[in-house]
A and B are shown apart, each in its own frame.
Chain A
């Protein structure tokens, strides 16, 4: 019963994400209006044929802003995730390779510190020091997000070091670089990628949350979190403003979680054994 569900999660996640990707990446062609063009005569209009999701306080089409805003949210999330992934892999491989050394101890204590530090606070500190912008937001996110990848990579490396293939590589005189890139990295990639699909959902939510607090993209760029923040002011008067960004955030996070679950079931050997 559960085995049969695995492809369903993966396939449904991919289908939803595919549809969202078409809508978001195709925004320049699909969006009916310019997402930043203000029209004072069409403020806070209810959903209609002309404006399927209504208009905001500046008379901007909410559907167009939602589609274009997806680009900002998704691209920034993917960029942040890639950066965190690369840092996490590098740190995890280094710490695992030199397990027990001073490098490992320093890196692990740094990870402990970052794990105990609320990244929302870090984002606010960065915004207070350098100003609010999407790049500063991404800096704050990347600064803490690599930690989980590093820990996972290190644990995979430590496990791999006990395997005969690692011992064989050592005996044959492989350099540390060769061992890392040819022996350890391929083993770490699968679990890290699975983690990344789950983390991407959380990352989208976090970026949207920080933008909601005004720490992310600046006007007039559409972004789902800031659209929700702007819509909140008019919640009693025009609740439809919130539908677009809220629905797209929900579907995107759901899609990534479904894909992550499906990938885990397919690629994680431990999961297979357990089942």
Chain B
């Protein structure tokens, strides 16, 4: 009896403590939500719960930003922010450019066209020489002029200290023609110098500055860094001396929230206005949200299956083609990308500059064609639905990593339906690397960028010596086309040749292209002027962004 009484008392105490915690939490969570309501933000019960959750995640200090309701402050929640302020440190320039602190000589617009940024114009003088005009009015934050000397010093510093900048700068030699004109010599003919100088790795910074603290860094962007906690938070204020159009929003807070669900809750609660890197599985939470909407832009990279051509079953081109015909890409987009991408059957198809390449080959899902090709190749369908040749089953072990497990399962299902005994091995990327080194792999998934200099990209993927030619593709016709592309100077002809190579490779199917990896950003309904861009990670902030007052 005593035990029963003790147990009852314990339950009552626990219940009371629980209720008291709930009421505390509710009041904490309702404060910002209540303020927002009074400001006319109109949050329902769900929203206040989410605000509560976001506050619990340790963000309560900033919860009133949305209620300021003007253009004073924009909060961007990123999966990761810089660990350093020096643009030559790994990925730092990417974060600095993303948030409007750093600029390069050129930029790429949402349509994939290269546009001047700190440069005023560029012209190819001869096949190996370019001249770039600079903007005399442009200044670093310190007031120093961005002249030819400063630009050369910046680019040379990036070239020597940033390994990631090397691919874009190592074949270029810079010289001063006059104070505001830069001469660029290239090692190869007809290199696309403005494109090379549009990458975040080439942002212009004052090479004489130390870049080891807020006071010693010197960049050119419309926002200046005024507070920085590595891997936590970066606060930026308007650069009053900015050479270009001054942004409307006065202050930007860029903070690291590594957990995806917390980023989602942060933007849904109105605590932040932009949340980067949202997963496809979180999309449903935005479906009925009035607080935030989704910007899902296919990135300029293609989810691609790389086949190991050293494996006997993939030596026959008909087998590889059959694997491609057997895929229902529309369905893959739904199953693996929640519908937030577009089917692409050739590798260059995800590049906005080659939009016509999207479905140039394998126009539609055709399992009958796949079956026909496999029959022709001698792989006969066995009684249990698997194809055999010389007593051996047609097997394929697909190695996946990261967020590609669902894609792997969907592919497995589609290949199995045409008689391929497909197996998915999901694990760490190091397993794929080890397997590639040993040659013990059948297929793996990668998503390389398809935006950049056509020759560099296509050589890297399909030339015998290409660093991303994992499967050992070596096709005489492709090699010949690549050689022609290297010699071609005319832009239109280069474009045509690139498309030809792209189609040839898709036809030979050493790789199987699926769809561009979706790039999802959650944007508050109060934020206007946000631009969808295939390189969203470096185009989050722009001068035209405004925030609703209510």
- Seen from chain A, the residues whose Cβ lies within 8 Å of a Cβ on chain B are 36, 38, 40, 43, 57-58, 127-128, 131-133, 214, 218-220, 230, 233-234, 236-237
Contact = CB atoms under 8 A, between A and B. Distances in A.
A233 B285 CA distance: 12
Contact of A57 (B282, B331, B335, B431): B335
Where chain A touches its partner, the secondary structure class is loop
A181 to B, nearest CB: 43
Interface string B413-448: 100000000011111101100000000000000000
Contact of B427 (A57, A214, A220): A214
B168 to A, nearest CB: 34
A233 B425 contact: no
Interface in B256-288: 261, 279, 281-282, 284-285
B282 A128 contact: no
Nearest to B408: A219
Given A57-B335, A234-B281, A237-B284, A218 B423 contact: yes
A48 to B, nearest CB: 18
Contacts of B408: 219
A133 B335 CA distance: 24
Contacts of B426: 132, 214, 218-219
A38 B408 CA distance: 13
A233 B280 CA distance: 9
Closest 8 A/B residue pairs (Cβ): A237-B284, A233-B281, A219-B409, A132-B427, A219-B424, A38-B413, A40-B331, A236-B285
Contact of B431 (A38, A43, A131, A234): A131
Of A38, A132, A230, the most chain B CB neighbours within 10 A belong to A38
A131 B413 contact: no
Where chain B touches its partner, the secondary structure class is helix
Contacts of A234: 281, 284
Contacts of A57: 281, 335, 406
A220 to B, nearest CB: 6
Nearest to A44: B284
A206 B412 CA distance: 28
B281 A237 contact: yes
Given A58-B413, A214-B405, A236-B285, A40 B425 contact: no
Interface of B: 261, 279, 281-282, 284-285, 331, 334-335, 405-406, 408-410, 412-413, 423-428, 430-431
A230 B334 CA distance: 16
B443 to A, nearest CB: 14
A214 B279 CA distance: 19
A219 B282 CA distance: 22
A133 B431 CA distance: 13
B423 A58 contact: no
Given A219-B408, A233-B279, A128 B430 contact: yes
B496 to A, nearest CB: 37
A43 B334 CA distance: 10
Contact of B410 (A36, A58, A233): A58
Contacts of B261: 236
Contacts of A230: 405-406
A132 B279 contact: no
Contacts of A131: 425, 427, 431
B381 to A, nearest CB: 19
B409 A220 contact: yes
Contacts of B405: 214, 219, 230
Contacts of B331: 40
Contacts of B406: 57-58, 230
Contacts of A218: 423-426
Contacts of B281: 57, 233-234, 237
Contacts of A43: 334-335
20 contacts: A38-B413, A40-B334, A40-B335, A43-B335, A57-B281, A57-B335, A58-B409, A58-B410, A128-B427, A128-B430, A128-B431, A131-B425, A131-B427, A132-B425, A132-B427, A214-B427, A218-B425, A233-B279, A234-B284, A236-B285
